[in-house]
């Protein structure tokens, strides 16, 4: 057992990497490196539940993550290892349940100081409590700074009397300027103390996907984004090299169908794993804003996007059961359907709406889509067309996105399903006309759904309307090579609006205190009303087989 007595001249430190997979602006690593008088152990623990293959899952990957994100994470780890080696150290990879492995290392290596980035996710809160309890009983100093976000969510919540702000504008007002803004961030480290003897702990090199048990041929198209701090900094510098683009950036004006050169930065997977410091990104943006005559402002500016991230982190940290409908006081209680067939059609890109299906293929193959594309498919699954529970869609995104982020993903699903933050349920994205506005020729659809590549542009968004002779010429018979629509958008969206209106009325009448029984009877009523409608979604579904 490590004891305070061992903190002599040769005191040792452990830097525990989880997110924050970077060397620049990493206060935990900085602290560990500058205080160490003895060895410094940089550790990453591979949790088999997160990383090892699960053949029963609906897509290649582990029980928790799709293979694209696992590959991205391994690339981040390999790059971090290379960065540490340049500084005279290396990354020690261990395997097992992270809390248990870490406690074993602290004990075995007689560690005096444990450093890791603070994390607000419930999973890490529980894990960190366990590890901190052990450390405190063993007399090990812990240092756990907030550096994943621009602000400390706990601070913002405290300034608001203990409640998280629930609108972006009130968040901005409360948050103000980041406390670190005036002082320069430490973006360089000149050296890191060498690793000590690892004793009986089994330490690995960063594994490859194949070493983790994956078959590299499991996927036919992989995400075109490489993981790691080096790629993150290169990508950010490239994006910011065009100052006019940064100054004029207006999120709602971006083209969601642009995929060779996406309309936004694609920095989200790097921010998710912390290969890029959001604070460094913020500082670089501020430097550009100082240099130009005028620039856009939050919420639509590029800086505004980063602030959305902090907004959701703060709301998530201050809201119990943020990732659920039940027990979540900011979430409307809505009797969503649990139709597994509709969910599967959406998840497997078989809705019959090419715009929706192409986005779902991009999700499966790349693990990244433009923000407005995410809007379209999330709206379609929930309040727009299929009326399926947002938690089901959230799960699919959580698994397949390479930027999958607990606070941001849940926050956006709450938003898009009109369960929280945004309540204009009458505003529904059309699965036909929305994409057409940006990409009338359907190049995006042709790329991600090659079965439709020869469909004339007149029918690319509504191929079921093409005469049979055209379908034959395009070598794509609807109903055989590509499905008929699972629902008719016009009637399904009308139904959804009606259901949302009723559910909102119940939530208002009961002041949000909707019980299971209330939800059940509302569901019954909505079903009865739907039975009375002759042209309902179910009939349409039967027709399209
Ligand atoms: P840019 O426009 O270049 O923005 C820069 C950064 O700002 C992003 O990298 C991201 O960190 C942050 N940001 C941008 N938009 C948002 C937003 N709406 N909310 C919070 N932060 C934002 N983003 C994730 O990072 N992880 C998720 O799991 C995730 N799930 C989503 C689920 C749904 C249903 C929707 C509608 C959106 C989701 N987003 C998620 C938000 C957003 O779509 C992505 O952050 C963005 O598309 C990433 O692309 P980018 O890096 O090019 O963004």
State the pLDDT confidence band at 534, using cuts at 50, 70 and 90: low
End-to-end CA distance of the chain: 65
Nearest CA to ligand 1 atom 14: 305
78 with 65: CB under 8 angstroms?
A: no
DSSP string computed for 157-214:
HHHTTTS---SHHHHHHHH-S-TTTTS------S--PPP---TTS--BPPPPTTTTT-
472 to each of 325, 403, 448, 463, 468, how far by Cα in Å?
46, 40, 20, 12, 6
Is the distance from the beta carbon of residue 140 to the nearest atom of ligand 1 less than 6 Å? no
Is the distance from the beta carbon of residue 398 to the nearest atom of ligand 1 less than 6 Å? no
State the pLDDT confidence band at 218, using cuts at 50, 70 and 90: low
Closest by CA position to 204, among listed 43, 48, 82, 65: 43
Pocket test for ligand 1, best of 311, 371, 409, 411 (most atoms within 8 A of CB): 371
116 to each of 85, 144, 375, how far by Cα in Å?
19, 5, 34
> Tell me, what's the pLDDT at 252?
85
Is the distance from the beta carbon of residue 254 to the nearest atom of ligand 1 less than 6 Å? no
Nearest CA to ligand 1 atom 44: 371
Nearest CA to ligand 1 atom 20: 309
Asked whether the predicted pLDDT for residue 541 surpasses 80, the reply is no
DSSP string computed for 398-411:
HHH-TT--HHHHHH
Whole-angstrom distance, CA of residue 542 vs CA of residue 545? 5
> Tell me, what's the pLDDT at 183?
85
Whole-angstrom distance, CA of residue 410 vs CA of residue 430? 23
Nearest CA to ligand 1 atom 43: 371
> Tell me, what's the pLDDT at 187?
82
> Tell me, what's the pLDDT at 532?
79
- Residue 369 CA to ligand 1 center (angstroms) comes to 9
- pLDDT tens-digit map of 345-357: 999 999 999 999 9
Q: Which whole number is the average pLDDT over 181-202?
A: 91
Task: Count Cα atoms within 13 angstroms, Cβ side, for 261.
Answer: 2
Asked whether the predicted pLDDT for residue 536 surpasses 60, the reply is no
Asked whether the predicted pLDDT for residue 527 surpasses 80, the reply is yes
Radius of gyration of the chain (CA): 25
Asked whether the predicted pLDDT for residue 6 surpasses 50, the reply is no
46 with 94: CB under 8 angstroms?
A: yes
| Chain mean pLDDT for the chain | 94
Is the distance from the beta carbon of residue 412 to the nearest atom of ligand 1 less than 6 Å? yes
> Tell me, what's the pLDDT at 221?
66
Asked whether the predicted pLDDT for residue 3 surpasses 50, the reply is no
């Amino acid at each position: 057992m490590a004891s305070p007595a061992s903190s002599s001249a040769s005191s040792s430190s452990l830097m525990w990497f989880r997110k924050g997979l970077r060397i620049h602006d990493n206060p935990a690593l900085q602290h560990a490196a500058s205080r160490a008088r003895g060895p410094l152990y940089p550790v990453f623990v591979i949790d088999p539940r997160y990383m090892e293959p699960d053949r029963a899952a609906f897509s290649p990957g582990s029980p928790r993550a799709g293979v694209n994100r696992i590959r991205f994470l391994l690339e981040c780890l390999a790059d971090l290892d290379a960065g540490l080696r340049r500084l005279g150290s290396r990354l020690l990879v261990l395997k097992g349940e992270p809390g248990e492995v870490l406690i074993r290392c602290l004990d075995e290596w007689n560690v005096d100081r444990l450093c890791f980035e603070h994390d607000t996710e419930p999973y890490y809160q529980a894990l960190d409590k366990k590890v901190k309890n052990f450390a405190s009983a063993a007399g090990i100093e812990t240092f756990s700074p907030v550096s994943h976000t621009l602000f400390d969510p706990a601070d913002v919540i405290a300034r608001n009397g203990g409640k998280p702000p629930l609108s972006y504008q009130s968040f901005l007002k409360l948050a103000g300027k980041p406390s670190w803004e005036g002082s320069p961030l430490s973006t360089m480290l000149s050296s890191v103390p060498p690793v000590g003897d690892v004793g009986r702990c089994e330490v690995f090199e960063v594994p490859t996907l194949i070493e983790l048990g994956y078959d590299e041929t499991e996927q036919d198209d992989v995400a075109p984004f490489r993981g790691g701090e080096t790629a993150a900094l290169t990508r950010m510098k490239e994006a910011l090299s065009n100052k006019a683009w940064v100054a004029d950036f207006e999120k709602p004006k971006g083209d969601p169908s642009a995929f060779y050169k996406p309309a936004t930065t694609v920095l989200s997977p790097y921010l998710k794993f912390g290969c890029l410091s959001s604070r460094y990104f913020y500082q670089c943006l501020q430097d550009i804003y100082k240099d130009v005559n005028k620039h856009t402002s939050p919420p639509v500016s590029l800086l505004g996007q980063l602030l959305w991230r902090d907004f959701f982190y703060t709301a998530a940290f201050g809201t119990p059961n943020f990732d659920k409908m039940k027990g979540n006081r900011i979430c409307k209680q809505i009797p969503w359907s649990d139709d597994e067939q509709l969910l599967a059609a959406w998840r497997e890109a078989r809705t019959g709406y090419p715009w929706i299906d192409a986005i779902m293929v991009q999700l499966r193959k790349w693990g990244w889509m433009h923000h407005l594309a995410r809007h379209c498919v999330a709206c379609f699954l929930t309040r727009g067309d299929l009326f399926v529970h947002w938690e089901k869609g959230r799960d699919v995104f959580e698994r397949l996105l390479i930027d999958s982020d607990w606070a941001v993903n849940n926050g956006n699903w709450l938003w898009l399903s009109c369960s929280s933050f945004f309540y204009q349920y009458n505003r529904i994205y059309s699965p036909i006309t929305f994409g057409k506005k940006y990409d009338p020729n359907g190049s995006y659809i042709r790329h991600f759904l090659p079965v439709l590549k020869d469909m004339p542009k007149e029918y690319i968004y509504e191929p079921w309307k093409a005469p049979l002779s055209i379908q034959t010429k395009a070598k794509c018979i609807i109903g055989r090579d590509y499905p008929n629509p699972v629902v008719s958008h016009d009637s399904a969206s009308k139904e959804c609006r009606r259901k949302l209106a009723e559910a909102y009325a119940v939530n208002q009448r009961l002041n949000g205190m909707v019980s299971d029984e209330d939800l059940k009877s509302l569901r019954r009523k909505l079903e009865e009303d739907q039975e009375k409608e002759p042209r309902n979604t179910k009939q349409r579904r039967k027709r399209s087989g």
